[in-house]
Amino acid sequence: MTDLGDFGEFSADGDGDSGVSDGGTADIAGADRARASESAGDAEAGTETAEDSFESTAVEPRGEDVGIGAICVSQGLRIAEDSDDTTLRAYITRGNRSSIRIGSYLLAPYPDGGRGASTGETLFCRITGLEYAQQYHADDATEIHARRAMRTDDIEEADYKFVANLEPVAILYDDDGELKRRMTDRVPKPQTVIREADDTEAIKTGLKMPDDGVFLGHLSVGGEKVRTAASPPTIDYRLKDDYEAGDPLVFRHTLVAGGTGSGKTHGAKNVLRQYLADERRYPMADGRKVGPAVVQFDPQDEYAQMHDDNPDLDDEFARRLEREGVAYGGGDDTTAFIPKVGSSSYAAGHHRAEQVEFTIPFSMVHENPWLVAGSGLNDNQYGALVSVLLQRFREQYGADATYDEFTRFLDDPALREELDESGRVHEATFDAVRRRVLGFGHIFDQDARPITELVHEFVRPGGLTVVPTYHINDTRATETIVLALSSLLIDQKLSNDPTYDRIKETPLVLGMDEAHNFLTDADSVQAGKVIKKFTEAAKQGRKERLGLFLITQDPQDIHDAVFKQINTTIVLNLGDEDAIKSVNIPSNLESKVPYMEKGQMVVYSPDNSEPVELIGLPKCLTRHGRD
């Protein structure tokens, strides 16, 4: 009987006690000796006369390679209306394999007639899969194959096929000197040579990317910028921003979603800086071209820094920005509007923007009574507040009456008894309303100028207004202030008879960081009124020159009615599966989101381009971060 102990552990050095560590090693050693013997025999044969030798035959084709491979038909070649029925594959030659990545863009020309003749049409496609396949049928799942691999530094590429699965994106064609795209309606020929897309015009046309507009970042694949033969070699990605190609996308609303540390605020600042550029102008109904006013709600007190230059932005980087037409540098017309809330104080040593203190007058509640409703009132109680109590209060005290006067009005026991006996408001309903509307004394009518007197300064064409709320420790107060100001802007924008023409006649970008805190899908009267208002604002934005710029790390919490109106979605790194699913980006890009590094992003804007992957600028265009 054979003793299994004879088969010891494999030794890479082969210096075991017996000289042969096991049968596998013996096989390999024997094979090596056989090859050495054959080599020696070949050497001896080389000393024979020339008449006895054989002439070698060249197997490499003559000429130089062009491209990275060719269309193959071994598993079919099919273009279909249904992408699942499309079969498009390409063989990649050995020297090109290490540089190929999933997501890379390729070009395959359509020949017409004889080889070399061309119709001027080219298939623009994208790599969706890569695989190795055996060149020759053999079972390499064996001990000897594995151990041979362990003793070598590389593989023999000639033994394997390297095949790329391709997704047709569009057909590019020449139309009187202008490159255009159309849907894929032709199948490429077998053995068509493919090459990497390295021409800026071809790539932008293939992906339907505009040449001009608001700069977001540079096109990338797998976290690396796409390089071309042009100067600069990178491909800039921009959002349409003129009426020649449809409505500017800023007025069709933008969502920036990203987790902590993803570069969300950095990227948002860079985008907003483009809207503050001197050349950014939008035509109004009266024929004027006006720069947009940007109003940014800032819960972390970071956006007022946009007043200042970034000290880390050196001259060389600035020249690159100028060549690409990217606006940079601090905005002098940046003002921080500081809400006065109780005894809270605001410290601003991290920026040099002008500060203007303001308060919310209780008079604004007459137009938006849900501001004092909170999340506790039901429909019946809310009806009593709006239709009875606030209406009667206004009749008795006037439209400019204060919050303190309103609380004294509700403290009147005779009023409670009268409304109960008349059947207008039940005493239990009255008590519930009174409890809910108390606790706003530190919010309304504080010792500062009312925002209604500061509208001209609050909304400035070409200027940035930042409303920091970091110094406010009361969540209820923060929500009330943000919703009061945003409602003022939205109501005036949508009104046919506005009180403040300055708001109505100025293009407006309304930015809201941590938007999930204000536009949430909650079951309350207040949430319902807020969602209705913002949904209507989103629907009318194109007509009224009103754009929502929402920033969040929890996109799944934003109400679906608002989400559906968003045209441009910018997604940075998100780790939460529900958050990733909620942004509704294509599955091939969705899978990349959890692995994206800081500054990498996916942009899904159907009216602007095909879904793409971008890398944002490595430096903020304004000051960013606290010293």
Please indicate whether residue 30 or residue 99 has the higher confidence score (pLDDT).
99
Output the CA torsion sign for 465, 468, 543, 496. Answer: negative
52 band by pLDDT with thresholds 50, 70 and 90: low
120 band by pLDDT with thresholds 50, 70 and 90: confident
Q: Which residue has the tokens 């800039």?
A: 236
In a domain, 92, yes or no: yes
Same domain, 344 and 456: yes
Give the structural domain span for 390. 363-437
Query: Count of domains in the chain?
Result: 3
Same domain, 265 and 328: yes
Q: State the amino acid at position 329 in one-letter form.
A: G
In a domain, 26, yes or no: no
Domain end among 414, 437, 460: 437
User: How would DSSP label each residue in 421-440?
Assistant: HTTSS-HHHHHHHHHHH-S-
Average pLDDT over residues 352-370: 95
What the block records as the tokens of 315 is: 């001259």
**DSSP, res 560:** H
pLDDT of residue 429 exceeding 80, the answer is yes
pLDDT of residue 625 exceeding 70, the answer is yes
Same domain, 168 and 268: no
Please indicate whether residue 627 or residue 503 has the higher confidence score (pLDDT).
503
Q: What is the pLDDT of residue 109?
A: 95
Give the range with max mean pLDDT: 26-35, 80-89, 251-260.
251-260
Least confident of 35-44, 223-232, 244-253, 304-313: 35-44
57 band by pLDDT with thresholds 50, 70 and 90: low
In angstroms, rounded to a whole number, what is the distance separating the alpha carbons of residues 365 and 77? 67
Same domain, 317 and 461: yes
pLDDT of residue 36 exceeding 70, the answer is no
What the block records as the tokens of 399 is: 């439209």
pLDDT tens, 278-337?
A: 999 999 888 899 999 999 999 999 999 999 999 999 999 999 999 999 999 999 999 999
**DSSP, res 444:** B
Same domain, 105 and 196: yes
Same domain, 465 and 325: yes
The tally of CA atoms less than 13 A away on the side-chain side of residue 133 is: 14
Q: What is the pLDDT of residue 69?
A: 95
Same domain, 469 and 500: yes
Q: Which residue has the tokens 């970091």?
A: 470
Cα separation of the two ends of the chain: 79
Same domain, 203 and 261: no
Nearest to 26 by CA among 38, 45, 11, 37: 11
pLDDT tens, 481-493?
A: 999 999 999 999 9
Least confident of 1-10, 116-125, 147-156, 610-619: 1-10
Q: What is the pLDDT of residue 246?
A: 81
What is this structure's pTM? 0.86
In a domain, 504, yes or no: yes
Same domain, 75 and 199: yes
What the block records as the tokens of 585 is: 């980006």
The tally of CA atoms less than 13 A away on the side-chain side of residue 598 is: 9
CATH code of the domain in which 324 resides: 3.40.50.300
In a domain, 18, yes or no: no
The alpha carbon torsion through 14, 15, 16, 22 (nearest 10 deg) reads 20
51 band by pLDDT with thresholds 50, 70 and 90: low
In angstroms, rounded to a whole number, what is the distance separating the alpha carbons of residues 27 and 25? 5
Count the neighbouring beta carbons within 10 Å of the beta carbon of residue 119.
13
In a domain, 625, yes or no: no
Which stretches of 42-199 are assigned E, i.e. beta strand? 69-72, 89-92, 105-111, 118-134, 160-175, 178-182, 193-196
In angstroms, rounded to a whole number, what is the distance separating the alpha carbons of residues 573 and 6? 55
Residue 256 vs residues 130, 542, 567: alpha-carbon distances, Å: 32, 19, 11
In angstroms, rounded to a whole number, what is the distance separating the alpha carbons of residues 138 and 478? 69
Average pLDDT over residues 244-252: 90
In a domain, 282, yes or no: no
pLDDT tens, 532-573?
A: 999 999 999 999 999 999 999 999 999 999 999 999 999 999
What the block records as the tokens of 228 is: 């071309």
Domain end among 177, 207, 237: 207
Q: What is the pLDDT of residue 1?
A: 45
Q: What is the pLDDT of residue 65?
A: 67
Give the chain's mean pLDDT.
88
